[in-house]
Amino acid sequence: MAIDKFTGENSIAFIKSEQLFDFARRNSLWYIAFGIACCAIEGLMSASGPRFDFDRMGVFFRNSPRQADVMIVAGTVNKKMAETVKRLYDQMPEPKWVVAMGACASTGGPFREYPNVVLGVDKIIPVDVYIPGCPPRPESVQYAFIELQKKIAKRTEERLAARNS
C-alpha cells in the first residue's frame, strides 16, 4: 500500500481497518519514561539523545503510563519495586507491549543471587521482546523496537488469516 505522492500512483489504498490501525500503532510506539537502573541511561536517555535519536522511528517518551504503548523495563526489579511495575503496566491502555531491557530485567542479571531481586520481570508482567546485554547498547534497543514492529504487523496478519479461514 505504498502511496507515491509524486506521481499520484496508488494514491488510494484499500486496506482493512485493522491493518490501518496497526500501521499507525507500530510507527508511533511511545514508551513510558520509567528508568529503573543503569539501563535507563542507555535505553532511555542516550536513546532520545542526538546520536541514536529514536524520535525518527516514532519512538518517543511519555511521562504518564496512560499515554504510553510500550514499557521498557530498564533495570533490576526488586521485591519493593515489583508492585510498582505491575501497577504501571496495569495503568497503560491496551494494546500494550513490554520490552525487557538487559540481563536484569530478563533474568535477574548480575544480581540474580540476591534474595531481594525478582528473577526477571516476566515473573510479574508479560514480556514481548528481551534484549540481552548489561547494559545493551542503544543500537540493541533500536533493533528491539524494529523487532517489536515486526511482531505487531505479524500479529495482525495472523488475526486476519484466522478470521478468513
Partner 1 sequence: MSDICEETLGVGLLCEGQHDPGTPPAGLRRAPSGVDGLTTEHLIINMGPQHPSTHGVLRMIVEVDGEEIVAAEVSVGYLHRGIEKLAEHRRYDAVGTLMDRGDYVSGMMGELAFALAAEQLMDVEVPRKAHWLRSLASELNRLASHLVWYGTFGLDTGAMGQFLYAMREREALLDILEALSGQRMMFNYIRPGGVVADMPLGVTEKIRAFLSTFDMYLDEYDQLLGGNEIFQGRVKGIGTIDRQMALAFGLTGANLRAAGVDFDIRKARPYAAYPELDFEVPLGSTGDAWDRYNVRMAEMRQSARMIAQLIDGMPEGEHTAKVPRIIRPNAGEVYASVESSRGETGIHLISDGTEHPYRMHYRGPSLYAAQALEEILPGHLIADVVMIIGSTDIMLGELDR
Partner 2 sequence: MRPAIADIERTLAAISGVSVAEEALGTVARVELAFVPDALSALKAAGYESLVDFDGTDTGEFVELTYRLRSYALDLELFVKSTVAYGGTIESVWFDYPSALMPERETAELLGIHLAGHPNPKRLLTTDGVEPLLRRDVLIRTVEEVKAR
Identify residue 99 by its one-letter amino acid code.
Answer: V
Task: Give the one entry of partner 1, partner 2, none that residue 34 binds, where binding means its C-beta sits below a cut-off of 5 to 8 angstroms depending on kind.
Answer: partner 1
Residues in contact with partner 1, shown as a per-residue x/- string from 96 to 125 under the rule CB under 8 A: --------x-----xx-xxxxxxx---xx-
Stretch binding partner 2 (CB under 8 A), from 18-26, 48-56, 105-113, 129-137: 105-113
Nearest to 89 by CA among 48, 121, 57, 56: 121
Backbone angles phi, psi at 36, to 5 degrees: -95, -50
CB of 8 to partner 1, least distance (A): 38
CB contact at 8 A, 72 and 96: no
Task: Give the one entry of partner 1, partner 2, none that residue 137 binds, where binding means its C-beta sits below a cut-off of 5 to 8 angstroms depending on kind.
Answer: partner 1
Decide the pairing of beta strands 70-74 and 60-62: unpaired
Site for partner 2 in 39-98 (CB under 8 A): 79-80
Rounded to whole angstroms, the Cα distance separating 118 from 111 reads 9
- The reply to whether 8 sits near partner 1 by the rule CB under 8 A is no
Stretch binding partner 2 (CB under 8 A), from 18-26, 55-63, 114-122, 139-147: 114-122
Q: Which of 6, 94, 115, 161 binds partner 2 (CB under 8 A)?
A: 115
Task: Give the one entry of partner 1, partner 2, none that residue 87 binds, where binding means its C-beta sits below a cut-off of 5 to 8 angstroms depending on kind.
Answer: partner 1
- The reply to whether 30 sits near partner 1 by the rule CB under 8 A is no
- The reply to whether 124 sits near partner 2 by the rule CB under 8 A is no
- The reply to whether 83 sits near partner 1 by the rule CB under 8 A is yes
- Dihedral of alpha carbons 114, 119, 123, 124, sign: positive
Nearest to 26 by CA among 138, 129, 116: 129
